[in-house]
């Protein structure tokens, strides 16, 4: 019985490895920016649109689940390239607000639209019911991998 339980082990490994090769997040249509920088632009746009003002390094760090120094390093690069502006908060100068330039906003909008298009295509391909099942199962896989990784760290 246990032989049957793991009969698809190789297939499961293969499918996860194919995701890495699909490069669906890394398409270079973004003026030479890295995929992580595009995700940051999209994050800043969505955060700014939601709040109506600039966002902070801390907020970006939480959303992207990366450290503040990582965010700061990417922001410095995006500022130098003219995609992002960093300004001091009017009420508390210790806080800096991050906003997009027109150039950054256009690129972020394009990236968000492309991302939405990809995932709408997945829903069209699978249908609503299977898409809902996929979401549940991928969340379960994520939680398992997270706990397995945490167990290895201890």
- Which structure tokens are listed for 5? 């339980």
Residue percentage of the chain with pLDDT more than 70: 93
Instruction: Give the span between the Cα atoms of 89 and 2, in whole angstroms.
Output: 61
pLDDT at 100: 96
**119 in Cβ contact with 96 (< 8 Å):** no
- Which structure tokens are listed for 146? 């997270």
Phi, psi of 6 (to 5 degrees): -110, 20
Instruction: Give the tens place of pLDDT for each residue, 71-109.
Output: 999 999 999 999 999 998 778 777 889 999 999 999 999
Quote the Cα angle for 63-68-72, to 5°.
Answer: 105
**78 in Cβ contact with 104 (< 8 Å):** yes
Fold of the domain built from segment(s) 30-153: Arc Repressor Mutant, subunit A (1.10.10)
- Which structure tokens are listed for 45? 């746009």
Domain boundaries, the chain: 30-153
Instruction: Give the span between the Cα atoms of 108 and 93, in whole angstroms.
Output: 27
pLDDT at 29: 58
pLDDT at 146: 87
- CA end-to-end span of the chain: 32
């Amino acid at each position: 019985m246990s032989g049957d339980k793991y009969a698809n082990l190789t297939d499961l490994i293969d499918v996860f490895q194919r995701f890495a090769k699909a490069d669906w997040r890394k398409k270079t249509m973004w003026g030479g920016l890295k995929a992580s920088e595009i995700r940051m632009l999209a994050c800043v746009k969505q955060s700014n649109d939601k709040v109506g003002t600039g966002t902070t390094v801390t907020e970006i760090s939480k959303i992207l689940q990366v450290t503040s120094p990582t965010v700061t390093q990417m922001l410095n690069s995006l500022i130098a390239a003219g995609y992002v502006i960093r300004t001091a908060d009017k009420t508390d100068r210790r806080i800096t607000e991050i906003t997009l330039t027109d150039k950054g906003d256009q690129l972020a909008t394009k990236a968000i639209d492309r991302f939405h298009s990809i995932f709408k295509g997945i829903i069209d391909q699978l249908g609503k019911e299977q898409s809902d099942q996929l979401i549940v199962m991928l969340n379960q896989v994520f939680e398992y991998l997270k706990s397995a990784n945490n167990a290895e760290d201890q």
